[in-house]
Amino acid sequence: MNDAQASDNAIVARAIDLVKTYGDVASGSQVVALDHVSVDFQRGRMTAIMGPSGSGKSTLMHCMAGLDKPTSGRVFVEGLEVSAMNQRELTELRRTRIGFIFQSFNLVPTLSAEENILLPLEISKRPIDREWFDEVVDVVGLRNRLDHRPSQLSGGQQQRVACARAIMARPSVIFADEPTGNLDSKSSAQVLGFLRDSVHDHGQTIVMVTHDPRAASYADRVLVLADGSIVRDMDHPGYDEILDVFSDEGEKDSGAAADDSEARA
Ligand SMILES: Nc1ncnc2c1ncn2[C@@H]1O[C@H](COP(=O)(O)OP(=O)(O)OP(=O)(O)O)[C@@H](O)[C@H]1O
């Protein structure tokens, strides 16, 4: 596969034969976190990455976002080879092309909601599109909370600020790490609905790591990792189909899925 293929316009991000190991073979402590993973992420789609704890979900996302270097293999975002970038290029890539949403919101506590939403654009000295800001603020329902600090907002509201911040910059791809992990079921549904709308109405591309089958059912595609490999690749699976996959995969996982469904019921 050559670089031209890697910059195919329908593909936002691509991993080719990605391997990530930790520790060393000599001491017998080597962990293979990613075991020859190849995957494409299409533009304008929401992909959920699921799998048991330790299966490599965060490692895959961190390698895709240039937060971690693969041991071997290549990563491309918008045809640019992330795995070959130096620190300065990686910083630029993350500023201009990648958005992040974390489980713990990661807002700046001393700034208002509005200032948090606009911060990435301010930092990269990019112009602020006020019409787009208004649209994003209305969609996430934060109009009357814009001057509130994070401590004056509920968890769900804080995560909506974080979503607005990611979407405001119109990045090529948003990587979301357990975005609903700290939210109750009502706030989760709001955040997920908003993320899905940003994909379907505005062509945003989202890659989301989640343990929650309900959250994954909002995605257009669900990838399942096990022991560092992609073992399932599902197109628009329903909630029940996702639950079935986990109940097929041993007692531990079916237990986790059942707990989750009970918690969200
Ligand atoms: N910095 C590190 N040093 C050593 N081993 C690591 C490191 N980071 C991850 N690992 C190991 O790599 C494997 C994959 O970890 P990873 O965090 O990607 O899994 P995960 O699927 O995201 O797990 P979880 O759902 O628990 O967050 C695990 O066995 C983990 O212990």
- The ipTM estimated for the assembled molecules is 0.97
Q: Tens of pLDDT along 196-254?
A: 999 999 999 999 999 999 999 999 999 999 999 999 999 999 999 999 988 765 544 44
Look at residue 4 and tell me whether its pLDDT is greater than 80. Answer: no
- DSSP class of residue 172? S
Q: In this predicted structure, what is the pLDDT of residue 262? A: 40
The CATH number, out of the four listed (3.40.50.2300, 3.20.20.140, 3.40.50.300, 1.25.50.10), of the domain defined by the range 44-69+87-264: 3.40.50.300
What Cα–Cα distance (Å) separates residue 15 from each residue in 1, 47, 69, 81? Answer: 11, 14, 12, 10
pLDDT in tens, 94-106: 988 999 999 888 9
The residue behind tokens 């971690």 is 68
3 pLDDT above the threshold of 90: no
pLDDT, tens only, 17-36: 999 999 887 777 889 999 99
What does the pLDDT read at residue 148? 97
- At 224, list the tokens: 């399942």
For the four alpha carbons of 237, 242, 243 and 244, in that order, the dihedral sign comes to positive
Alpha-helix runs per DSSP H in 50-181: 57-64, 87-97, 113-123, 130-140, 155-168
Q: What is the pLDDT of residue 248?
A: 61
Arithmetic mean of pLDDT over the chain? 89
Distance of CA 220 to the CA centre of its chain: 13
User: Ligand 1 pocket test: which of 32, 37, 59, 260 has the largest number of ligand atoms within 8 Å of its C-beta?
Assistant: 59
Is the C-beta atom of 210 inside 6 A of ligand 1?
no
pLDDT at 209: 96
Domain residue limits, the chain: 44-69+87-264
Mutational test site, ligand 1, from 19, 20, 21, 22, max ligand atoms within 8 Å of CB: 22
Mean pLDDT of all residues in 67-84: 95
The residue to mutate among 18, 29, 30, 31, having the most atoms of ligand 1 within 8 angstroms of its beta carbon, is: 31
Distances 169 to 76, 77, 165 between C-alpha atoms, Å: 20, 16, 7
**CB of residue 57 inside a 6 A radius of ligand 1:** yes
Contacts of 158 (CB under 8 A, 6+ apart): 105, 107, 150
Find out whether the beta carbon of 71 lies less than 6 Å from any atom of ligand 1.
no
